[in-house]
Structure 1
Amino acid sequence: MNRLWMATLLMAVPAMANPTLVFGRLEHTPSNCRIVVDGRPLECNRLQISASGSSGVRLRFIGDDENSGVSYQLNFVSLDGDPGSPLNCNSSGCRLNRRSWNASLISTAWVRFDAQGLPMGLPNARTATGRCWIDARTISCESHSRNIHDVSAEAQL
């Protein structure tokens, strides 16, 4: 009788799992993209959106300085987006839901890489307050933190 109970429990566990958990990454080349760090505007040419469960999202804005070979990334990490994840992922990949989405930030990170792709110092990662949002045409993030300058990024889809 005990084995029958265990078999029934094991069969029920997958049915009770949360089907809305999203894991995956979307890479996009925006039509227009800009990062502002320390009051200095920089161009960006790639955007990555990564989902790490039902509520974790990382938005990474990536740019390159073709003259020096330096590349840079500005990352925003959020939890508890409304409503859920902005990504719709399946076995063939991820796509951006074209509905509105916004979330509070928990951290930001700024890192630069030399021409060989090696980090130039440690990433400047900080806890932060701010928001990220997505609408039909724009992805935007702005962050405010103690002891460092405000950072922001915006990409047109």
Structure 2
Amino acid sequence: MAYSPRDINVATAIIFCGLQGSGKSTFYARQFANTHIRLNLDMLRTRNREDILLHGCLAAQQAFVVDNTNPSPSQRMRYVALARAAGFESLECYWFDTGIEECIARNATRPDDARVPEIAIRGTAAKLMIPSKAEGFDRVWRVTWTAAGIEQLSELT
């Protein structure tokens, strides 16, 4: 199911939540690359760089996606609190519901420099808590993948 933004002029903060290899970056590229700035620690390498880009998005009311694992409510809350304080009109979370073994298999197909250790995936899985609207989100989406690599969305209530 293709995501179609309701209004690209609305300042929207989107936080991804999911294991390494769960399809977060692929989903971003397909659905948000033309409308939202991507914040990703794999690319930015440091929290300081992420903070600079995040605060620029907040100040400019620029829609953004946090494309990190964000397994716990406390990690997600950082972005929610900042976006709310900056007056963002819409906060959404996308939970990538992909099994550990599938993530490990996908990770194995990545180039060597993009692969993460299996223990990292299992460690993130141990900390992963399913997000909820109670964390301050306007919408929480569950993303699953078909065998053909097509994403499917369902809204969590």
TM interval, shorter chain, is: under 0.3
Report 1 or 2 for greater relative contact order, CA contacts < 8 Å, sequence distance ≥ 6.
Answer: 2
Judging by fraction of residues, say which structure has more strand. Answer: 1
Radius of gyration: which is bigger? Answer: 1
Judging by fraction of residues, say which structure has more helix. Answer: 2
State the TM-score, normalized to the length of structure 2: 0.27
